[in-house]
Structure 1
Amino acid sequence: MQFAVKSGSPEKQRSACVVAGVFESRRLSAAAKALDEASGGHLSALLRRGDMEGRAGQALMLHGVPQLLADRVLLIGCGKEREFDERAYRRSIDLMTDQLNDSGATEAVCYLTELPVKGRDLHWCVQDAARQITHRLYRFDDYKSKAEAPRRPVKRLTFAVPSRRDLASGEQAARTGQAVAEGMNLARTLGNTPPNVCYPEYLAEQGRLLAEQYPVIETEVLDVAQMTELGMHSLLAVGRGSEREPRLIVMQYRGGKPNEKPIALVGKGITFDSGGISLKPGAGMDEMKFDMCGSASVFGTLKTCAELELPLNVVAVVAAAENMPDGRATRPGDIVTTMAGKTVEILNTDAEGRLVLCDALTYVERFEPEAVVDIATLTGACVIALGNHAHGLLGNHSPLINELLGAGKASGDRAWELPLWDEYQDQLKSNFADLANIGGREAGTITAACFLSRFAGKFHWAHLDIAGTAWLSGANKGATGRPVPLLSQFLIQRAER
């Protein structure tokens, strides 16, 4: 999709389609009113006739409207004007995208970006629209023998801004929105790829491809021998039962000054999680290919950084393994030594994400990061606590936590902070090792973060549990691309600072 930004009156647009909003009850937006006046009241006459009320979800495509240069006019129902918030705005953008993609109009001019959205400015409206449209048009049909495609898909969309003074800001907003969406779509594609294709070495190859595509990225891949030499026995224990060997993928984005400390992103990359010897139930196990969505979001965020040429340094580390049961697999009761030298009693092999992440967190110490954020589909308990709307967020540095919360609000990709109190650490006590890898049924999300915190004492650290947000089940099953928007906004704000 190509995006452009322009200012100008809607009635003067020579386009395949002009898009404007209508609120309840038949209240024309400013752009729709201008179109109506230029057409001699044609639009308002149709609305009075009952063709449209302006309710959310309604759309009306008009052809050959008198006195207009555009071939078509698409009216989008926006609901009640006083309730038109960011959620309603996104629904309107989604509806417009679907209607245009099915209309035969390969280009259009959109005036929805000029609508008054509660608490948001024009820059946000353009950026969010570009992101939402790119996200909406995503299709994953790589493994279908016959892919379904729109007859004449929309290829170019122009966002309207009120004046020429808004052009530069609007163009930057459209570029940012599209870059974030492309990062999300990369994360979605990696998440949706079947586990017989997407295994640790496949993820490593994606890291190499990013380095080929963007010279500002450098990728190094550590194999089993190298990880063994480093003492990463916790990470290696997770992959022992699989024929697909683990990998540690290290990608460095160098957009900042050479001596500037990097931000580190650490992603859980379990390409398939059977649970190991602590085998999961069969129902829904196919969705355990999404257990690498934390790493997918790291790849996606790094792509967004490169597209936007953000002036900062980022280290992205992916701990990739496949958790399978066989005669070599790690058993409940085994004790392993982490890269940090701590010993862990593995009471449940299905609590494997923290085992790969702890060694990755120790590894990033060598980069002396300014801050570290790990991202993982870590606990089912987080799904119970927060559903599929908010990421769980915990950490050891309040300013970093507040930054991430703010980035979530700004991007609409929200997180919710959970406590990380010392009292919860007692649940990880082990009779035989320094700590156990599970802390019982109570507060499972928190005790998982407590485990990780034992390996994050040398830097400012935050943990995003995305178990409920990384993918959807049911009829719309697939990876969501979250939390790429939150992470991208976090890095954009860091770069602006």
Structure 2
Amino acid sequence: MNLKEDRALEFKLIKGDPLKLKSNVLVIGKFEEESISKTVKKVNEALKGTISQLIEEESYKSVIGKTLNVNTVGKTGSDRILLVGLGKKSEFSPNSLKKVGIAVAKKVKKFASKVIFNLDIEGSNLNSQNLIMGLILGTYEFNKYKSNNDDSSSTTDTKYNFIWSKLNQKDFDNSLQKATGIAEATCFTRDLVNEPPDTMTPTRLGELAKEIADENGLECEIFNNVDIRQKGMGGLYAVSKGSLEDPRFIHLTYKPKKKARKTVAIVGKGITFDSGGLCLKPADYMKTMKMDMGGSAVVLGVMKVISLLKPSVKVHALISASENMTGGGAYKPDDVVTALNGKTIEVVNTDAEGRIVLSDALSYAVNLGVEEIVDLATLTGACIVALGNYTAGVMGNNQLIINKILKAANTVGEKVWQLPMDEELRKDIDSDIADVKNVGSRYGGAITAAMFLENFVDDTPWAHIDIAGPTFIEKGGEFYPKGATGFGVQTILQYLLER
């Protein structure tokens, strides 16, 4: 998408009478099961009761993001009024405004060049930040490969103006900077996942990592196929053997200016296309497998904005990137591969390759001496079966880290649910000929996948987030675009800021 090239969005704090100020759209808000606010009442009076009449006639419920569009017929300074639902007041949070922003952007992006918000909500950094983030995220489209793509006919440049009580210009500017950085990092992650696999290769991931490092003053180290083999990264090397595309191992490092409170590794699975290998996927299950590098996209999205947000922790970002293909050199069921930490893996199914490439990345993180590891991976269909398309699963060996991730996810409005590390399932990945099998039985697959990964973190506090469901939603959703969602970027950023 590249927001800067596709559309120009402007955000400004203003003062004035919302009924007199000129705009295409005036956005006003209403809480569910609450009487109308002061501004809504004024607008309703100016329109001779049209708002209240439509609320009654259309049984408008004010659920979050639900809109009611009214032509003012020249009775206010705005051409149209957009009444947007704010949900239940008792459940309202800054994240509610992110959803409001997404809903409004989807409605107005085709026609409105100037939009004014007056929601009768007290201004704050977080409220302003989340609303602006929502407006940017709601504008997102991935259309770069459409030959008839004409941005001028599909969307318009928009100036968003906000009337906030008790919010000064300095605080607004601060919230705008953070909102823009986080939202654009999320959109960047969406772009990476939406890219076709013939362009988003392991080599391209490495190039992007280098660009991010150069732009943000990060350290960068990238291993090619020869390096990977020489360093003993047997898992990543094995999975890559069936592809003409060389693998990459990517290591970015962020260091805070002051002494770091902790050293954290964030690890991403980077399978840029997953055919299943010799255990070939059916066509219907293969067609969206460009998204199997979603974990690596999250890691790069986080690192793209980390220097702006300046967390007080040192961050090592690690990515194992490869294709999983069926070439003549492809690894096979019954193979035994040796990971970086020396543990041996019996290959039962070549379509469980993500955990194999992660074995090396997790071992590498341990060797760095980090104090915490968080990995993100589109790892298992079993997690989607358990939790659905909109919720990620989290597991690990340290409840404190898991709790921190759950808290961060709740703060930013991303759904994450803890799954149990049921010890009775561990025997499913016992191997007769190696240290561990790469798959167990069909039951508890998300859990046994996490248990497999646990073999490569030693005693380092670690959490695994299975983002297979929410990374890519083909039909989209009320608050998600079709395709890549950027899920995980905001949770990890919040997690790092709270460490």
Q: Same fold (TM over 0.5)?
A: yes
Q: Does 1:319 align with 2:320?
A: yes
Q: Does 1:227 align with 2:228?
A: yes
Q: Distance in 2 between matches of 1:200 and 1:80?
A: 43
Q: Which residue of 2 aligns with 1:409?
A: 410
Q: Does 1:490 align with 2:495?
A: yes
Q: Which residue of 1 aligns with 2:3?
A: none
Q: Which residue of 2 aligns with 1:339?
A: 340
Q: Which residue of 2 aligns with 1:428?
A: 429
* 1:300-319 CA-partner distances (Å, limit 9, x unpaired): 11112133344432111110
Residue 136 of structure 1, CA deviation: 1.1
Does the aligned pair in 2 maintain the 1:257–1:313 contact within 8 Å? no
Q: Distance in 1 between matches of 2:129 and 2:358?
A: 33
* 1:212-241 CA-partner distances (Å, limit 9, x unpaired): 222x22221101111112111111100100
Q: Which residue of 2 aligns with 1:291?
A: 292
One-letter amino acid of the structure 2 residue matched with residue 363 of structure 1? Y
Q: Which moves more between the two structures, 417-426 or 386-395?
A: 417-426
Q: Does 1:74 align with 2:84?
A: no
Q: Distance in 2 between matches of 1:135 and 1:284?
A: 28
Q: Which residue of 2 aligns with 1:269?
A: 270
One-letter amino acid of the structure 2 residue matched with residue 10 of structure 1? P
Q: Which residue of 1 aligns with 2:189?
A: 187
Q: Which residue of 1 aligns with 2:158?
A: 155
Does the aligned pair in 1 maintain the 2:372–2:461 contact within 8 Å? yes
Residue 64 of structure 1, CA deviation: 6.2
Residue 22 of structure 1, CA deviation: 4.3
Does the aligned pair in 1 maintain the 2:86–2:100 contact within 8 Å? no
Q: Does 1:396 align with 2:376?
A: no
Residue 6 of structure 1, CA deviation: 4.3
* 1:378-411 CA-partner distances (Å, limit 9, x unpaired): 0110000000121100111111111000001100
Q: Does 1:479 align with 2:458?
A: no
Residue 44 of structure 1, CA deviation: 4.4
Q: Distance in 1 between matches of 2:257 and 2:366?
A: 19
Residue 259 of structure 1, CA deviation: 6.0
Q: Which residue of 1 aligns with 2:13?
A: 5
Does the aligned pair in 2 maintain the 1:237–1:330 contact within 8 Å? yes
Q: Distance in 2 between matches of 1:468 and 1:449?
A: 16
* 1:320-339 CA-partner distances (Å, limit 9, x unpaired): 00000122110100001111
Does the aligned pair in 2 maintain the 1:29–1:115 contact within 8 Å? no
Q: Which residue of 1 aligns with 2:145?
A: 143
The one of 40, 61, 68 equivalent to 1:59 is 68
Q: Distance in 2 between matches of 1:80 and 1:261?
A: 38
Identify unmatched segments of 5+ residues in structure 1.
none
Q: Distance in 2 between matches of 1:477 and 1:12?
A: 37
Does the aligned pair in 2 maintain the 1:262–1:369 contact within 8 Å? yes
Identify unmatched segments of 5+ residues in structure 2.
1-8
Q: Which moves more between the two structures, 370-379 or 91-100?
A: 91-100
Q: Which moves more between the two structures, 481-490 or 466-475?
A: 466-475
Q: Which residue of 2 aligns with 1:357?
A: 358
Does the aligned pair in 1 maintain the 2:27–2:84 contact within 8 Å? no
Q: Which residue of 1 aligns with 2:28?
A: 20
| Identical-pair percentage | 34
The one of 25, 36, 39 equivalent to 1:31 is 39
Q: Which residue of 2 aligns with 1:441?
A: 442
- Relative distance call for 1:310 and 1:79 in structure 2 (3 A) is closer
- Relative distance call for 1:63 and 1:44 in structure 2 (3 A) is closer
Residue 161 of structure 1, CA deviation: 1.8
Q: Could you say what secondary structure the match of 2:49 adopts?
A: helix
Q: Which residue of 2 aligns with 1:457?
A: 458
Q: Could you say what secondary structure the match of 1:157 adopts?
A: strand
Counterparts of 1:233-312 in structure 2 under 5 Å? 233-257=234-258, 261-312=262-313
Does the aligned pair in 1 maintain the 2:333–2:348 contact within 8 Å? yes
Does the aligned pair in 2 maintain the 1:221–1:248 contact within 8 Å? yes
Q: Could you say what secondary structure the match of 1:10 adopts?
A: coil
Residue 199 of structure 1, CA deviation: 0.9
Q: Distance in 2 between matches of 1:292 and 1:8?
A: 48
Residue 258 of structure 1, CA deviation: 5.7
Residue 422 of structure 1, CA deviation: 3.3
Q: Which residue of 2 aligns with 1:45?
A: 49
Q: Distance in 2 between matches of 1:429 and 1:50?
A: 64
Does the aligned pair in 1 maintain the 2:239–2:353 contact within 8 Å? yes
Q: Distance in 1 between matches of 2:54 and 2:447?
A: 54
The one of 80, 93, 100 equivalent to 2:108 is 100
Q: Distance in 2 between matches of 1:246 and 1:373?
A: 22
Does the aligned pair in 2 maintain the 1:271–1:321 contact within 8 Å? yes
Q: Which moves more between the two structures, 398-407 or 147-156?
A: 147-156
Question: Root-mean-square deviation (CA), in Å?
Answer: 2.6
Q: Distance in 2 between matches of 1:314 and 1:140?
A: 30
- Relative distance call for 1:420 and 1:201 in structure 2 (3 A) is same
Q: Which residue of 1 aligns with 2:5?
A: none
- Relative distance call for 1:244 and 1:477 in structure 2 (3 A) is same
Residue 61 of structure 1, CA deviation: 4.1
Q: Distance in 2 between matches of 1:390 and 1:98?
A: 23
Q: Distance in 1 between matches of 2:255 and 2:356?
A: 29
Q: Distance in 1 between matches of 2:87 and 2:198?
A: 48
Q: Could you say what secondary structure the match of 2:103 adopts?
A: helix
- Relative distance call for 1:76 and 1:238 in structure 2 (3 A) is same
- Relative distance call for 1:154 and 1:23 in structure 2 (3 A) is farther
One-letter amino acid of the structure 1 residue matched with residue 68 of structure 2? A
Q: Distance in 2 between matches of 1:436 and 1:227?
A: 22
Q: Distance in 1 between matches of 2:148 and 2:215?
A: 29
Q: Distance in 2 between matches of 1:25 and 1:416?
A: 30
Q: Distance in 1 between matches of 2:33 and 2:402?
A: 43
- Relative distance call for 1:81 and 1:466 in structure 2 (3 A) is closer
- Relative distance call for 1:8 and 1:371 in structure 2 (3 A) is farther
Q: Could you say what secondary structure the match of 1:491 adopts?
A: helix
Q: Which moves more between the two structures, 469-478 or 366-375?
A: 469-478
* 1:41-74 CA-partner distances (Å, limit 9, x unpaired): 22343235548754443432445644x5x34342
- Relative distance call for 1:428 and 1:256 in structure 2 (3 A) is farther
Q: Distance in 2 between matches of 1:8 and 1:457?
A: 60
Residue 285 of structure 1, CA deviation: 1.1
